[in-house]
Amino acid sequence: MPNRRGFTLIELLVVIAIIAILVGLLLPAVQKVREASAKTKCQHNLKQVALAAHSAHGANNFFPPLCAPNQGTKITTAAQPYNGVNGFTVITFLLPHLEQEKLYQDCLPITYFSENYPSDAILKVLMCPADPAGNLGRGLYDGIGGPKRWGTSNYAANFFAFGNPSLTTDAAAVQGANNLSSGFPDGASNTLMFTEKYANCTNLNDTTKVYTVLWADATSAWRPAFCLNNVNRTWDNPANSSCAIFQVRPNWLTECDTSRAQSGHSGGIAVALVDGSVRMVNASISPTTWANVANPRDGLTIGSDW
């Protein structure tokens, strides 16, 4: 029998080079597919959250408040059924409308500081696969005794849509109760309702601290909210009356500004509007236009870049 001839070194190198070229050509395409899938998933989740808010409005004739003053304080607004509830956020109130009725009922009778409070629940509808921290659904230690491993949200609520900016104290201003027919004079189709936000984000002034967005916690630094424009996400009218524009793909450890919204997608950010529609907002939008769309009561004309 004749001896079988194997690959020569040169032939083997040629094959490896061809495979490397093919992989190099395929990777960008695969990356684009993954990015498109993540963008679609995030928009779908935003749609579900927006529909849940409208379901809550339909049941109660107004949207839920942004949140309680803090984690251990009851909501004191006269609006029902939210009055007297302890430490909730707008997303906690949306749980029954997100097919999470049992979780909502588990939250109601338990004081916030109880070890049985179900704040560690991970909700897929609140997770965006484009979040760069790679800790989807869980909080990270933030350097100030923070919510490590608590349930997070990649979606945040617009303070101007769910709060009351006419009030000067944070505790009062976050307890809004806005009606769809009267609370948005500039138009529901031109007002931000929810948008994306990194679940874990550094404080630019102290990068040893990572601030977290929690669905179950009204503590100011952890609220699922934007347009409050400071690290602690508190309202100090009128200094922060203009909503700061979002960031696109900042490094979550070194570039992220927790006072703003963030997008993990290239080219823009996914938003849900008060009319329930969902769209991508281009990264080239001006800060002025973004601020005008965020505020439904400023009476200003929205720029052509919207």
Per-residue pLDDT tens for 189-243? 999 999 999 999 887 777 778 888 999 989 888 899 999 988 888 997 765 678 9
Rounded to an integer, what distance in angstroms lies between the CA atom of residue 227 and that of residue 209?
21
End-to-end CA distance of the chain: 77
Residues pairing with 192 in the sheet: 273
Per the rule left: phi > 0, alpha: psi between -120 and 50, beta: everything else, 140 is beta
Compute the Cα dihedral for 182, 218, 120, 251 and give only its sign: positive
With 0-12 CB in 10 A as exposed, 13-18 as middle and 19+ as buried, what is 278?
Answer: buried
Mean pLDDT of 12-24: 82
Token readout for 153 is 């949200």
State the DSSP code for 303: P
Mean pLDDT of 43-68: 96
* Average pLDDT over all residues of the chain: 87
- State the amino acid at position 108 in one-letter form: L
Mean pLDDT of 257-276: 95
Question: For residue range 102-160, what is the model confidence (pLDDT) as tens digits?
Answer: 999 988 876 555 555 678 889 999 999 999 987 778 887 666 556 777 899 999 999 99
Mean pLDDT of 259-285: 96
Question: For residue range 78-105, what is the model confidence (pLDDT) as tens digits?
Answer: 677 898 888 899 999 999 999 999 999 9
